Copies of this chain bind each other. A is one copy, B any other.
Amino acid sequence: MSSRLPVAVLGATGSVGQRFVQLLDQHPLFEVVALTSSDRRSGQPYGESCRWVLTDPMPEWAKTIRLSPTTPEDLHIPLVFSALPADIAREVEPQFAQAGTMVCSNASSYRREADIPILLPEVNADHARLVEIQRRKRGWRGGIVTNPNCTSTGMTVVLKALLDSFGVQKVFAVSMQAISGAGYPGVPSMDILDNVIPYIGGEEEKVETEPLKMLGALQHDTIQPASFVISAHTNRVAVSDGHTVCLSIELVKKASLDEIAQVLQTYQAPTESQNLPSAPHPPIILRDEADRPQPRLDRMSGKGMSTVVGRLRKDPIYDIKMVVLSHNTIRGAAGGSIYNAELLRSMGFI
């Protein structure tokens, strides 16, 4: 046990913070030694000051950890997972990076910076090298690596597989997103019971841009974004966990449904990402039932880390239609960030 790397979770009392705590329970590489809180609860035991909202119970070891302030001086630690709100993350994460800590962040604050990767190990493990540029240019001894927006995650894995084999020209993406994506207390129940909210602030912009950065090429210290176009509609529905995305995709090179199915099913992560503890096997699960994937039935596939695809069929305008599902607070948030940290560790950045 003592050989595990000591880590902290920043913003550990929120819903994503809780997922970090739950998913890091008995992690083979990382051992949580500190939990921080963004408010004046410092010093209180996590078990008392955190309103736990997950169905899996709070790990025993977490209950007695006393909350720390979210400052590098108080932690001195090689790796932190950040579940901070965007405004606090913007201020605090560079302080950690400066102090020599690697920050694996779920916040959106730095995703658009040229030298900060949005990392998805199955897709762009090579973008991790941007950490070297951060260190060179910013003088950081640590670094910041982000995971993508929860809605972008699944569809980007699928688009990577298609891009490599056929090229991608245009994508229509319409999401039906879970309430847990809005945190806690998040969406008022009166807004979502017997209802759909066809709007999530800032989400469509993220879905239209983040995949292009992730699918871009790292050239001369810069990422050249992928050159296709995405149009997104994002909606909130009465689902606890699991984001469902309907995709219509125009490819560059025409292909049969069988060829496409074959490419999705056999897609492999880059070598350096394949054997990490959080890596889903296979990265993409293709289901052939008429009515799958469904969030309640499929979100926990691969311990919540798989990208589940179904309803692959011809599109009357573009080439293909399909439905993509991934777990938004596991794969699309805490689990994704942990997978990133595993990759960074194996590449020697931590």
Contacts and interface: CB of A to CB of B under 8 A. Distances in A.
A64 interface: no
A196 interface: yes
Interface in A56-73: 56-57
Interface residues of A, number: 62
A229 interface: yes
Contact of A208 (B198, B233, B316): B316
Given A199-B311, A231-B248, A239-B195, A317 B172 contact: yes
Nearest to A209: B316
Interface in A200-244: 201, 208, 229-231, 233, 235, 237-240, 244
A246 B297 contact: no
Nearest to A57: B301
26 contacts: A53-B297, A55-B299, A55-B300, A57-B301, A176-B196, A179-B193, A185-B185, A186-B188, A187-B189, A188-B188, A189-B192, A195-B296, A196-B237, A196-B239, A196-B244, A198-B292, A198-B293, A199-B291, A199-B311, A208-B316, A229-B316, A231-B315, A231-B317, A233-B248, A233-B321, A235-B244
A240 B53 CA distance: 17
A58 to B, nearest CB: 10
Nearest to A231: B317
A318 B230 CA distance: 10
A170 interface: yes
A55 B246 CA distance: 21
A193 B322 CA distance: 23
B185 A188 contact: yes
A187 B186 contact: no
